[in-house]
Amino acid sequence: MHPIEISDLTVAYHEKPVIWDLDFHAPAGVLLAVVGPNGAGKTTLLKSILGLVKPSAGTVTIFGKPAQKQMHRLAYVPQRGSVDWDFPTTVLDIVMMGLYGKLGWFKRPGKKEKELALQSLEKVGMADFAGRQISQLSGGQQQRVFLARALVQDADLYLMDEPFVGVDAVTEKAIVALLRELRSRGKTVVVVHHDVPTLKTYFDWALLLNVRKIALGPVQKVVTPKNLQKTYGGRASFLDLEHA
Amino acid sequence: MLDYTLILVFSGCLVLGIVAGTLGSFAVLRKQSLLGDAISHAALPGVAIAFLLASSKHPAVLLLGALCAGWLGTLFILLITRTTRIKNDTAMGIVLSVFFGLGLFLLTLIQRMPSASKAGLDKFLFGNASTLLLQDVWTMLILGGATLACVLLFWKEFKLLSFDPDFLHSLGRNTLILDVFLTTLLVAAIVIGLQAVGVVLMSALVIAPAVAARQWTDHLGRMVALSALFGGVGGVLGAFASSRISNLPTGPAIVVGISVLFIISLFFSPHRGLLKDWLRERKNRKTVRSKKVLLALFTLSRSHKTPFHSHPVSSLEAIAPGSIEGGLEELRNQGLALPSGAGWKLTHKGAIEARRLAQHVYGEMP
């Protein structure tokens, strides 16, 4: 029973296929990167797993059951550009949003939730920013806040959309450390990733995606110049780096 | 002064202002400001059809009609946007004009009918709070109270729906139902105000208090409370003005009242106000000007043995044209430079500051 199992997934917007006949599974306890060029269907794949996008065909199961029944076992980190950071609220409040699911209807977050949120902010090095207005955060800080919101959910499966985009080197290192810590606790993390040169150092497994599945497996096995060529076409200048 | 009718009118406008201000905050944060306009216009045929079907002008009947039509209009917008390639703003434009046109058409028909009870429906266009009866205010109070109670009960869901709906979905909540629910509450808030404010201007009451409130606070709870307060105050002010000036419809009076609050907030709020921006900008320009002159003094003094050599204004002008006059005065006020002989020279403090600045700007000594 894999954390994620997908069979024959096809997603099309206005008849143009974005994902074509994808079979995919993520084994437990790995850091798995989803890589591919722009428009390859990486974000759409995450959104199909979450049920945010309705597939034209195929099934998605999470820990052996239909995804919508397993939402409490997963935590989602959307692209930070997908929200309006001028929303009137604080960093702590955003992190507490991760606990709304467990809180249930009609209940407001209290002392316990605040405590958990603060601990989570501590883990991403943002505890000093708890009371800060979110409009005052830098890109890297926004990303850390989103990660803290996912951490506080204490899920078994994490889905992250481009967490490394537009963050500084310090934040990138902090995120990698965090991913490894999650893996050491047996969590499964699926990350949409853009940067091929760091693939092998940051991740255990990779899905190479370009509408169709190009390859899936341990990075040492599947991240090869040939597969990258197939995924990115002829435009990939970083292929040389792979030999380095 | 305050007779029974006036108290009724004031309480009615207070209620509609508070409810519109509250729901308007969410509409503005969800970037649905124009939806309010579409909903209020779409409600008009509902009023007419309810009157035709029930042959009654009871507020509950008319508001129910408005509620249904407003809701149907919203549903159409949602359906058009989801199932066709027509964009959201176009969908709103279509629904607004088609429903409003139908409403005007039906109202004209009703005016021509021989029935005696027909009079007064045209107040739904521009609003007439002075016709509010006890039963109207009761209806507004009950519907408005229920709306506010729902907002409080579902506060955290509505907050997250406004900030990050995809994340709310990932928590296992049905965002489609919550979205329709919150929009229905917005429809209710708009419908409450139709009789007093009218379909044409009701959207101002949804948008303006919320935008004004956002200027003053960075906290959602406080923003909603302040928006409700602005809406309530604007409502009462407008009702008061229209009760003093004969033939002034309530809708425009309320909108003018709220616009005053809005404009004050836009210019004078402490963090986001235009005045604050302007002052910040001006201060910034002054600082830059004085720093340019400080660097000029420092650059010139590099060719002398002591940094405290006096330099004529004309030499400074050559290095930092346009900044000198004001800049020198700034430096004198800060104790960084002094007039000396025919020119100006750095003070001790000025020399230290200039050296630090040069290091910062050039990375090393020029």
Report pLDDT digits (tens) over B103-157.
999 998 888 887 655 667 888 888 888 888 899 999 999 999 999 999 999 999 9
Please name the residue that has the structure tokens 């404009």. B263
pLDDT given for residue B365 in this prediction: 56
Query: Are B265 and B289 contained in the same domain?
Result: no
Q: What is the mean pLDDT of residues B43-67?
A: 91
Mean pLDDT score of chain A: 91
Residues B246 and B338 in one domain: no
Which of B222, B244, B272 corresponds to the end of one domain?
B272
Question: Residue A243: its pLDDT value, please?
Answer: 45
Q: How far is A100 from chain B (nearest CA, A)?
A: 7
Complex confidence, ipTM: 0.93
Kindly report the nearest CA distance between residue B344 and chain A, in angstroms: 41
Q: Does A136 touch chain B (CB under 8 A)?
A: no
Q: Residue A143's CB: how many other CB atoms inside 10 A?
A: 27
Least confident span in A212-221, B63-72, B343-352? B343-352
HEC letters along B134-202: HHHHHHHHHHHHHHHHHHHHCHHHHHHHHHCHHHHHHCCCCHHHHHHHHHHHHHHHHHHHHHHHCCCCH
A2: left (phi over 0), alpha (psi -120 to 50) or beta: beta
Examine the domain organization and report whether B152 and B182 are in the same domain: yes
pLDDT higher than threshold 90 for residue B37: yes
- Rounded Cα distance, A44 and A56, in Å: 12
Tell me how many domains chain B contains: 2
Distance CA A227, CA A235 (A): 13
> Is A151's pLDDT higher than 80?
yes
Work out the angle between the directed axes of helices B155-163 and B134-153 (0-180°, nearest 10).
70
Residue (of B198, B225, B248, B243) closest to B2 by Cα position: B243
User: What CA–CA distances, in Å, run from B138 to B11, B123, B135?
Assistant: 10, 19, 5
* Same domain assignment for residues B171 and B298: no
Determine the residue of chain B that is closest to A14 in CA distance: B85
Distance (Å) from the alpha carbon of B264 to chain A's nearest alpha carbon: 20
Same domain, B45 and B88: yes
B28, B32, B170, B181: which to substitute to probe chain A, counting the most A Cβ within 10 Å? B170
Q: Do residue B36 and residue B107 come from a single domain?
A: yes
CATH code where residue B262 lies? 1.10.3470.10
Domain with B282, as residue range(s), is: 278-362
Nearest to B217 among A72, A83, A88 (CB): A88
Of B272, B288, B322, the position where a domain reaches its end is B272
Kindly state the average pLDDT of the residues B224-240: 94
Read off the pLDDT band of B230 (50, 70, 90). very high
**How far apart are the C-alpha atoms of A195 and A142, rounded to whole Å?**
20
Q: Do A89 and B159 touch (CB under 8 A)?
A: yes
What is the C-alpha to C-alpha distance for residues B203 and B251, in angstroms, rounded to an integer? 11
Helix runs in B274-366, H state only:
274-301, 313-319, 324-333, 348-362
B303-359 pLDDT tens trace: 777 778 888 888 887 877 777 778 888 888 888 888 887 788 888 888 888 888 888
Specify whether B260 is located in the same domain as B307. Answer: no
Start-to-end CA distance of chain B, whole Å, equals 77
Tell me if A149 sits within 8 A of A173, measured CB to CB. no
Q: Say whether both B234 and B339 belong to one domain.
A: no
On whether both B90 and B210 belong to a single domain, the answer is: yes
B14 pLDDT band (50/70/90 cuts)? very high
Rounded CA-CA distance B219/B25 in Å is 12
CA–CA dist A193, A190 (Å, integer): 9
B13 and B100 in one domain?
Answer: yes
Kindly identify which residue of chain B lies nearest to residue A46, measuring between CA atoms. B170
Tallying the residues shown for chain B, one arrives at 366
Strand partners, A66: A61
Angle between helices B274-301 and B324-333 (to 10 degrees): 90
Which structure tokens are listed for A212?
């169709």
Residues found in chain A: 244
Tell me the CATH number at B285. Answer: 1.10.10.10
- CB A131 within 8 Å of CB A88: no
**pLDDT of B161:** 96
And the tokens for B192?
A: 């409450």
Sign of CA pseudo-dihedral A176, A177, A181, A182: negative
CATH code of the domain occupying A4-243: 3.40.50.300
Q: In Å, how far are A33, A113, A130 from B166, measured between CA atoms?
A: 21, 21, 23
Q: Which residue of A has its CA nearest to B216?
A: A88
**Average pLDDT score over chain B:** 89
For range A176-181, the mean pLDDT = 94
Q: How confident is the model at residue A242 (pLDDT cuts 50, 70, 90)?
A: very low
B30 and B126 within one domain:
yes
| CA–CA gap between residue A108 and residue A158 (Å, rounded) | 25
Give the span between the Cα atoms of A161 and A176, in whole angstroms: 14
Q: Domain coordinates of chain A in residue numbers?
A: 4-243
Examine the domain organization and report whether B290 and B212 are in the same domain: no
Q: Does A233 touch chain B (CB under 8 A)?
A: no
Q: Count CB atoms within 10 A of the CB of residue B171.
A: 22
Residue B46 token pair: 């509902």
